[in-house]
Structure 1
Amino acid sequence: MTVDESNAADERMTVSVRNVGGIERASVTFEPGITVVAGENASNKSSLLGSLGAVLGGSPPPLRGGAETGSVTLDLDGEHYAVELGRQEGSADDDAAGRTLVKDATPYTTDATLVDCFVRLDEDNPVRRAVVDGGDLHELLMRPVDTEAIDAEIDRLRERRAKLDERIADLDERADAIPELEVRARRLRERRDEVSDRLESKRAALAETDYRAAAEATQDLLDSLDDTRAERERLRDRRDTKRRAVESLRDDLDAVEAELSALDADLGGESVRSRLDAVDDDLSALRERKGRLDETIDALRPIVEVNQALLADSRLPEGFDEGEVVDRLDPAAESITCWTCGQSVERADVREQVEAVQAILRAKREERSSVEARIEECRQRRSDLETRLEERSDLEDRRRRLEREIEDRERTISDLEERIDAAEERIRDLEADLDEAEADDDLLERHREVSDLEYERGRLERELAAVGDEIEAAEAAATEADSLREERADVDDRLDDLRDRIDRIEREAVETVNECMERVLDRLDYDGIERVWIDRRHVDGGTVFDLQVVRTTDDGAVYRAAVDTLSKSEREVVGLVIALSGYLVHDVSATVPIVVVDAIEMLDAERIRGLLEFFDEHARYVVAAALPEEAECLRSRFDTVSLESPEIATQ
Structure 2
Amino acid sequence: MFVNSPESEPESEFEELHITVQNVGGITDGELTLSPGVTLLSGENASNKSSFLRGLAAVLGGPTPPIKSDADRGRVTLRTDENEYFLELSNENGDPTVTDAERFSDRTDLCELFAALGETNPIRQCLLTDGDVYELLMRPVDTAEIEAEIEQLKARKDRLDERLAELDRSEDRLPTLRTRATTLREDREEIETALREKREEIDEREAETDGNDVLDDLKEKRSERESVRNRIETQREAIRSLEDELEAVREQRDEPGTAESARDVDAVESEIEGLHHQKQQLTSTINALSPIVEMNDQLLDDEREIPEEMKSDEIVAELDPSSRTISCWTCGSTVEREEIAEQVRVVQEIIGEKRQQRETITERVRSLEEEKRQLERRRDERERLAEKERSVEAEIEQREETLSELRDEKAALDDEIESLQADAETLDERDDELLELHGEVSDLEYERGQLENELTELEREIEELEAELKNRDDLEAERESVATRLREQRERIETLERDLVTTFNESMQQVLDVLDYENVERVWIERLAGDSDAPSSTDFELHIVRSSESGAAYEDTVDSLSKSEREVIGLDVAFAGYLVHDVASELPFIVIDAVEMLDADRIRGLLNYFEDHTEYVVAAVLPEEARELEETYPTVSTASFAARS
Do they superpose with TM above 0.5?
yes
Please give the residue correspondences for 1:164-183 in structure 2 after superposition, counting only pairs within 5 Å: 164-183=160-179
Q: CA, structure 1 residues 453+125, in 2 after alignment: closer, same or farther (shift >3 Å)?
A: same
Question: Among 525, 533, 548, which residue is 2:516 paired with?
Answer: 525
Question: Among 82, 88, 91, which residue is 2:86 paired with?
Answer: 82
The match for 1:134 is 130
Query: What's the secondary structure of 2:74's corresponding residue?
Result: strand
- Equivalent residues of 2:202, 2:438 under 8 A apart: no
Question: Among 161, 184, 189, which residue is 2:185 paired with?
Answer: 189
Question: Among 48, 54, 58, which residue is 1:50 paired with?
Answer: 54
Query: In the TM superposition, what is the alpha-carbon distance from 1:468 to its structure 2 partner?
Result: 1.8
Cα deviation, 1:556-608, whole Å, max 9, x if unaligned, reads 45444443443322221121111111111222222222111111122222221
Please give the residue correspondences for 1:127-526 in structure 2 after superposition, counting only pairs within 5 Å: 127-201=123-197, 218=211, 221=214, 224-226=217-219, 228-229=221-222, 423-424=413-414, 426-431=416-421, 457=448, 459-481=450-472, 483-526=474-517
Matched, 1:580 2:575: yes
Q: CA, structure 1 residues 467+529, in 2 after alignment: closer, same or farther (shift >3 Å)?
A: same
- Equivalent residues of 1:10, 1:77 under 8 A apart: no
Cα deviation, 1:150-188, whole Å, max 9, x if unaligned, reads 222222223223333433343333333211110111111
Query: In the TM superposition, what is the alpha-carbon distance from 1:516 to its structure 2 partner?
Result: 0.9
Query: What's the secondary structure of 1:622's corresponding residue?
Result: strand
Structure 2: how far apart are the matches of 1:617 and 1:440? 114
Query: In the TM superposition, what is the alpha-carbon distance from 1:126 to its structure 2 partner?
Result: 1.4
Cα deviation, 1:199-242, whole Å, max 9, x if unaligned, reads 45556xxxx998999799957655643454467679999999xx
Question: Among 600, 624, 630, which residue is 1:635 paired with?
Answer: 630
Query: In the TM superposition, what is the alpha-carbon distance from 1:424 to its structure 2 partner?
Result: 4.7
RMSD: 4.3
Matching residue's letter, 1:513: F
Q: CA, structure 1 residues 428+548, in 2 after alignment: closer, same or farther (shift >3 Å)?
A: closer
Question: Among 46, 69, 74, which residue is 1:70 paired with?
Answer: 74
Query: In the TM superposition, what is the alpha-carbon distance from 1:630 to its structure 2 partner?
Result: 2.1
- Equivalent residues of 1:10, 1:76 under 8 A apart: no
Query: What's the secondary structure of 1:177's corresponding residue?
Result: helix
For structure 2, the residue ranges without an aligned partner over 5 or more in a row are 1-11, 234-404, 528-535
Query: In the TM superposition, what is the alpha-carbon distance from 1:451 to its structure 2 partner?
Result: 6.5
Matching residue's letter, 2:513: D
Cα deviation, 1:615-646, whole Å, max 9, x if unaligned, reads 0111121111122332233222222222324x
Query: What's the secondary structure of 1:638's corresponding residue?
Result: coil
The match for 2:531 is none
Percent identity of paired positions between Structure 1 and Structure 2: 50
Structure 1: how far apart are the matches of 2:475 and 2:80? 49
The match for 2:119 is 123
Matching residue's letter, 2:417: I
Cα deviation, 1:303-324, whole Å, max 9, x if unaligned, reads xxxxxxxxxxxxxxxxxxxxxx
The match for 1:616 is 611
- Equivalent residues of 1:26, 1:649 under 8 A apart: no
Query: In the TM superposition, what is the alpha-carbon distance from 1:22 to its structure 2 partner?
Result: 2.0
Matched, 1:14 2:18: yes
Query: In the TM superposition, what is the alpha-carbon distance from 1:457 to its structure 2 partner?
Result: 4.7
Matching residue's letter, 1:594: F
The match for 2:33 is 29
Deviates more, 1:619-628 or 1:504-513: 504-513
Structure 2: how far apart are the matches of 1:104 and 1:489? 48
Q: CA, structure 1 residues 53+435, in 2 after alignment: closer, same or farther (shift >3 Å)?
A: farther
Query: In the TM superposition, what is the alpha-carbon distance from 1:70 to its structure 2 partner?
Result: 2.4
Matching residue's letter, 1:518: Q
Structure 2: how far apart are the matches of 1:21 and 1:611? 27
Matched, 1:546 2:564: no
Structure 1: how far apart are the matches of 2:564 and 2:458? 84
Cα deviation, 1:534-561, whole Å, max 9, x if unaligned, reads 334xxxx944433333334556454444
Deviates more, 1:51-60 or 1:422-431: 422-431
Structure 1: how far apart are the matches of 2:185 and 2:466? 20
Matching residue's letter, 1:14: H
Q: CA, structure 1 residues 425+190, in 2 after alignment: closer, same or farther (shift >3 Å)?
A: closer
For structure 1, the residue ranges without an aligned partner over 5 or more in a row are 1-7, 91-101, 241-414
Query: In the TM superposition, what is the alpha-carbon distance from 1:142 to its structure 2 partner?
Result: 2.4
Matching residue's letter, 1:130: C
Q: CA, structure 1 residues 558+450, in 2 after alignment: closer, same or farther (shift >3 Å)?
A: closer
Q: CA, structure 1 residues 603+10, in 2 after alignment: closer, same or farther (shift >3 Å)?
A: closer
Matched, 1:625 2:616: no
Count of paired positions: 450
Query: What's the secondary structure of 1:144's corresponding residue?
Result: coil
Matched, 1:110 2:106: yes
Structure 2: how far apart are the matches of 1:115 and 1:572? 18
- Equivalent residues of 1:122, 1:599 under 8 A apart: yes
The match for 2:310 is none
Q: CA, structure 1 residues 184+77, in 2 after alignment: closer, same or farther (shift >3 Å)?
A: farther
Q: CA, structure 1 residues 649+623, in 2 after alignment: closer, same or farther (shift >3 Å)?
A: farther
Query: In the TM superposition, what is the alpha-carbon distance from 1:426 to its structure 2 partner?
Result: 3.1
